[in-house]
Amino acid sequence: MNTGKRQKQRKVLLMGKSGAGKSSMRSIVFSNYVAKDVRRLGATIDVEHSNIKFMGNLMLNLWDCGGQDGFVENYLTHQRNHVFGSVAVLIFVFDIESREFQADVVSYSNIIRALEECSPGAKVFCLIHKMDLVQARLRGPLFDERVEYIRAASEGFRESVEFFATSIWDQSLYKAWTQIIYFLIPNAATIENLLQQLAEVIDARELILYERTTCLMVTHVTRGLESKNPFTDRFERISSILKTHKQSMAKHTGIPAGSANFAEMQIKTGRFMFFITRLTENTNLAASIPPSEQVFNAARVNIRLVRPKFAELDIASKPRPGIQQAFAHSAESERERERQRDSSVGGEVEYRGKGKEPVGMGEGFGG
Amino acid sequence: MASSHFQASAPSQRSHHDDSHLERSEASQAGPARLQPGAQLTLMRYLQDLPDADVPPSPVPPRYHTGRLPNSKAGDGKPRLLLMGQRRSGKSSISSVVFHKLPPSETLYLETTTRIKKESMHSFMDFQVWDFPGHLDYFDPAFDVDNIFDEIGALIWVIDAQDEYLEAIMRLNTTILNLQHSYPNINVEVFVHKVDGLSEDYKSDTFRDIIQRVQDELSDHGYENAPVSFYQTSIYDHSIFEAFSKVIQKLIPQLPTLEALLNSLCSTCHIEKAYLFDIMSKIYIATDTSPTDIGSYEVCSDYIDVVIDVGEIYGWDRPGENGHSEKVETGNNDAESLITMERKGNNFLYLREINKYLALICLMGDDSPSEKKALIDYNVGVFQDALKQVFPRTEKEIPPLQSPSA
């Protein structure tokens, strides 16, 4: 679980029939496109690569593979090892409206076979896409039917393959991608553990850690009553809300969407208080806390103090000065890392011990 | 951090206290002064949900046709917006998008309206929207014209800018000329609609052409300076909401007072732009008098969405929440929100719920909000108080304000 400080490249293949919606999906999730903008996209030629840096030394290496038959043929023959070697995740997109579903599945099982041969340890996610085109009452049965059929064709991945119904017009896209990202994060348990401690200290009802550019949730911690929140889809919804807001800000202030980030957002009501603030270089933390000014202020201070701790999880093997300057406590975290190396007990125990330290300074407010 | 917060705000609070007096006195001056004419009193009743009039009918001719006239026959007392225009010009689409939050793309599937659709809107001010089928001839003797136009607040005439509009203009002019004798003060609002499909040049040409034709024809018939306003609208962006905002604003007699209050708030707190929004319809009922651009309106309107959506997710009924025994200082009951942008020089946004229906949204400039937040909170509290004096009866509905003790 503790994979060390090495930057981890994870190769993700995005495949499916031509026109299934692979590039649309990628543009919306990773490049700040609005759903209606995707009709401007042309066909993908061969493979388009993109690298996305995530929390917890995860670097996503996304291969958007053009789906026209000629390209697919090429992937399966000449480039077989190049394309299917060392894959962490294959995301296969099915178009629910496709007229040649049988043919899609044949192509899918060819790809699955190649994957099984070159990277047997990979994980497969199937997205049944464009669900918005199906009438609401038919969605469930149709989805189940397709899942059954595709699972039967999944060869060695029959047990592990996961299915999601998606559409670019609602938050279902975020739901699927959140699961995929969660699977890819190498040190998710460590992050969750730290978040849990933080949540205890600041008395948060819920903490959501999400990536800043994509607004995809990395992980979340829910405490006490909040787990009974009737909105079980709230994480995708928050991703979607934040993304929409970011686009709106970008559109009307003329800032490019990539940098239209807010430093902080607060919402206070009589029932809850909610704020979002920056946690590490590319993650934000959203916290829902009880409606009390004291708790709110204490939580803000404590989150500021805990930043270096999370920054450490984020830092790649080579110390990158750019990142550290971003945080006022760079010297402090440097020293701590030094100490940490000395007492390398390893894994969780170590983090737990240290995790309290920066938080403790704010304890006076916590009551 | 907390202590510096208070130090910064303490002395300045005092200085703004004086401002607050100024604001208050302005409000109380402006308030009664604006309430003299009869029509305004009439509207005040709707704004305040008074069941029965305790104001004697006034001899002053009403300037705002916002509802039941003092001696009109039994009406339901709600200002009425009439949506009229040719068939397929987009009337029903407009009313569904603005008042029912229908996604614009879904309006393709709306069916033709065959009879008058009356809908009541409950908001800070109750009003009715009447959607008329395009093919009706209202001046057919079979129609009870008085019944339709008697209590009208505004007549909204929708013209499809992508279609042949000469006939629409002709009918509009007939209507205006017919109405001017019996109801000379009706606000006629012309929406030049579906402009999203036109190129920039063509759009403004069309718009100008329509204005020209309407005014020429009216003056040919000897009707100069007709009270007709024109707007370019589309349901695919915020322009339709902005146009509706301006239409509704004309029906609010307290508008100058509200604007004065907002101006005063803006200058005190260095706010660039302040909007008073109706939360439900996202129509703004007042803004300060600095120039408005649609961009800032859109940012604010999208911001309301964020706050409402997050509020919905986390504002659920928690069991056992009512027994808050250990809570020492609870937050303000009215929602408030602040967004700080990361890059220097960018605006930040401030939202405060004023009462059940209204929210104040401010766009602010570069100054750091962390020091000024308390000040702004305080001044907005003062604004809220002043607003209560302007709309005294809404006071009952909102929980008591917890402004910081000065």
What chain B residue is nearest to A225 in terms of C-alpha separation? B318
Percent of chain B scoring above 90 in pLDDT: 8
Taking residues B401-405, report their average pLDDT: 40
Do residues B141 and B272 both lie within one domain?
A: no
Let me know if A91 is exposed, middle or buried by CB neighbors in 10 A (0-12, 13-18, 19+).
Answer: buried
- Write down the H helix ranges in chain A: 22-30, 69-76, 80-84, 101-118, 136-152, 172-184, 188-202, 234-253, 293-314, 321-325, 330-342, 347-360, 363-366
Q: Which of A156-165, B84-93, B103-112, B235-244 is predicted least confidently?
A: B103-112
Residue B324 located in a structural domain: no
Q: Do A271 and B318 touch (CB under 8 A)?
A: yes
- More reliable by pLDDT, B305 or B47: B305
- Domain count of chain B? 2
Question: Residue B238: pLDDT band by 50, 70, 90 thresholds?
Answer: confident
For residue range B209-231, list pLDDT tens digits in order: 999 999 888 888 888 777 889 99
For residue range A220-240, list pLDDT tens digits in order: 999 888 888 888 888 888 888
Q: Which of A235-239, A306-310, B279-283, B396-400 is predicted least confidently?
A: B396-400
Taking residues B196-205, report their average pLDDT: 87
Q: What is the residue whose two structure tokens read 């309301």?
A: B304
Work out how many CB contacts closer than 8 A connect A with B: 129
**For chain B, how many helices (H) and strands (E)?**
10, 11
Taking residues B188-198, report their average pLDDT: 89
Question: Residue A52 carries which side chain, given as an amino acid letter?
Answer: I
Do residues B306 and B215 both lie within one domain?
A: no
- More reliable by pLDDT, A15 or B47: A15
For residue range A240-296, list pLDDT tens digits in order: 888 888 888 887 777 776 677 778 888 888 888 999 998 887 888 999 998 888 889
- Kindly report the average pLDDT of chain A as a whole number: 79
H or E stretch covering B145: helix B145-149
Do residues B292 and B237 both lie within one domain?
A: no
Asked whether the predicted pLDDT for residue B71 surpasses 80, the reply is no
B367-371 contacts at long range (C-beta below 8 A, 24 or more positions apart)? B367/B270, B369/B338, B369/B340, B370/B5, B371/B4, B371/B5, B371/B8, B371/B9
Question: Could you list the residue range(s) of the whole structural domain that residue B207 is in?
Answer: 80-249
For residue range A125-151, list pLDDT tens digits in order: 999 999 888 888 888 899 999 999 999
Chain A positions touching B2 (Cβ under 8 A) are: 297, 301, 365
Residues of B with CB under 8 A from a CB of A: 1-2, 295-296, 298-299, 302-303, 305-307, 309-316, 318-321, 327-343, 346-347
Domain C-terminal end among B229, B249, B269: B249
Question: Residue A83 carries which side chain, given as an amino acid letter?
Answer: V
Q: Domain A8-184: which CATH class? A: alpha beta
Chain A positions touching B331 (Cβ under 8 A) are: 268-270, 273, 291-293, 296
- More reliable by pLDDT, B2 or A249: A249
CATH T-level assignment (fold) for domain A188-366: Beta-Lactamase (3.30.450)
What chain B residue is nearest to A228 in terms of C-alpha separation? B318
Q: What is the residue whose two structure tokens read 């057919």?
A: B140
CB-nearest partner of A266 from B309, B338, B347: B338
Residues 216-275 on A with a CB inside 8 Å of B are 225, 228-231, 234, 237-238, 241-242, 244-245, 248-249, 251-253, 255, 259-274
What chain A residue is nearest to B330 in terms of C-alpha separation? A292
The domain segmentation of chain A, as residue ranges, is 8-184, 188-366
Percent of chain A scoring above 90 in pLDDT: 18
Taking residues B55-73, report their average pLDDT: 42
Taking residues B398-402, report their average pLDDT: 41
- Rounded to 10 deg, the angle between the A347-360 and A188-202 helix axes is 30
Asked whether the predicted pLDDT for residue A44 surpasses 90, the reply is no
Question: A interface mutation test: which of B273, B294, B310, B312 has the most A CBs within 10 A?
Answer: B310
A189 touches chain B (CB under 8 A): no
What chain B residue is nearest to A264 in terms of C-alpha separation? B340
Sheet containing B127-131, strands listed edge to edge, beginning at the edge strand earlier in sequence: B117-121, B127-131, B80-85, B152-160, B187-193, B228-232
Asked whether the predicted pLDDT for residue B48 surpasses 80, the reply is no
- More reliable by pLDDT, A60 or A352: A60
Contact A320, A330 (CB under 8 A): no
Do residues B240 and B273 both lie within one domain?
A: no
Domain C-terminal end among B232, B249, B266: B249
Query: Virtual CA dihedral for A159, A160, A163, A168, nearest 10 degrees?
Result: -160
- More reliable by pLDDT, B59 or B325: B59
Q: Do A274 and B343 touch (CB under 8 A)?
A: no
Global ipTM:
0.74
Do residues B143 and B189 both lie within one domain?
A: yes
Chain B positions touching A257 (Cβ under 8 A) are: none
Spatial separation of the C-alpha atoms in residues A262 and B299, rounded to whole Å: 14
For residue range B324-374, list pLDDT tens digits in order: 444 434 445 678 888 877 765 556 788 888 877 889 998 887 665 566 778
Question: Residue B260: pLDDT band by 50, 70, 90 thresholds?
Answer: very high
Spatial separation of the C-alpha atoms in residues A218 and A279, rounded to whole Å: 12
Do residues B276 and B141 both lie within one domain?
A: no
Chain B positions touching A238 (Cβ under 8 A) are: 310, 313
Domain C-terminal end among B202, B226, B249: B249
Taking residues B126-130, report their average pLDDT: 80
